[in-house]
Amino acid sequence: MKIILATNNQNKLREAREIFSPLGIEILSQKDAGISVNSEENGTTFAENALIKARAVYELVHLPVIADDSGLCVDALGGAPGVYSARYAPEHLLCETLLENMKNVPEKQRTAKFITAVAFIDQNGSEITLEGTCAGVIGFEKRGVNGFGYDPVFMFGEKSFAELEPEQKNAVSHRGQAFRNLYEYLKNHVQQEEN
C-alpha cells in the first residue's frame, strides 16, 4: 500500500516512514508522487487545516493521503500561537519571539502543549481525523540541536525536545502519538481489506 504524505518536510517524512513501515505501507512525499501543491491553511482548528492539505493532494491523485497540522498552545498566551504557530514569526525567529513574549511569565505559569491533528483520506475519498498531544513547559532559553520549530524551548521533563534523540522524541511527541493513532486505524483497515 502506498500513501502520500502531504508534505516535503524531511523530518515529518522520516517520522512517518519509521512509524508506518511495519504495516508494509510505503510513504511517499509530494515530490516522490510528482505533485506540487500549496494549500491555504485557513482553518480555525488543526483538524480543519490537516483536511485542507489532505484534500488538496487527494484531488490531484485520488490515492490515499495523510496530512497533518501541528502547533504549540501556550497557556499563558491564551493558547497562542495555536493554529498560527508556523506564522507566529519568521521561521528562524520562532523561539526568540516566543521567549520574548514570555519573558515576564514565572516558571509555574509556563505550561504548554503541542497538538497534532492528522487527516487520512483513503482511495475512495473517505476521511478521518485523529489527534495527538504532548504537554510540557516553555523553558527560558533555547537548548539542544535536534528537532525543529519550537523544539529548543519546549521542555519535556528535564530536556527540551531538541535535546532528545529522534527515537525518544517520536515515542512521546504529539505527531508521533497522532501517527500511532492512525497506525492503529490503518492496521484494522488493512486487516479488514485482507479478510
Assign domain 2-194 to its CATH architecture. Alpha-Beta Complex (3.90)
Q: For the chain, what are the domain ranges?
A: 2-194
Each residue's pLDDT tens digit, 103-160: 999 999 999 999 999 999 999 999 999 999 999 999 999 999 987 899 999 999 999 9
Instruction: State the catalytic residue, choosing from 32, 68, 69, 151.
Output: 69
68 given a catalytic annotation:
no
d(CA 14, CA 148): 13
Rounded alpha-carbon distances, angstroms, from residue 46 to 3, 63, 157, 194 = 21, 22, 25, 32
The answer to whether the predicted template modeling score (pTM) of the entire model surpasses 0.75 is: yes
Each residue's pLDDT tens digit, 37-88: 888 888 999 999 999 999 999 999 999 999 999 999 999 999 999 999 999 9
d(CA 90, CA 13): 23
